[in-house]
Amino acid sequence: MELHSSTLLAVVFGMFLLLLFLVLAIVIFRAVLRRPSSSPPLIPTEDGHYEVAGKRVSCSHCHGSRFQTKEILLNTWLLSLLRIDWLDSSAIVLTCQECGQLTWFAQDE
């Protein structure tokens, strides 16, 4: 049996449409089912510290209160497989400037 190039092109195009549909379904699914904000926000204070739920954040190891912040993606296998992991949720990570311990805070969008 000989495979025609037009048949192969139709199969590739169909797979592309299927992948596109899957990506759109994931985006819509995540947007519809997104839960309302439940985690308290991380608030930088004027003196260079951070507060969560009304309490100043301190390092659980050295009790330091100076941090560097970075937003980290919480990757899931499906979105990583599809190479659209930028759609995943994220967290704010505080890195203690004294000892380097990482403290994670969920970040609702």
Is 66 or 85 the residue whose CB approaches Zn ion more closely?
66
Distance CA 95, CA 46 (A): 18
Closest approach, Cβ 102 to Zn ion, in A, equals: 10
Give the CA-trace dihedral at 97, 101, 106, 109, to 10 degrees: 30
Closest approach, Cβ 40 to Zn ion, in A, equals: 21
Q: What is the DSSP letter of 60?
A: T
Distance CA 43, CA 29 (A): 30
Is 18 or 62 the residue whose CB approaches Zn ion more closely?
62
Is 90 or 101 the residue whose CB approaches Zn ion more closely?
101
Residue numbers at the binding site for Zn ion (CB under 5 A): 59, 61-62, 64, 96, 98-99, 101
Both tokens of residue 55? Answer: 């309490």
Closest approach, Cβ 108 to Zn ion, in A, equals: 26
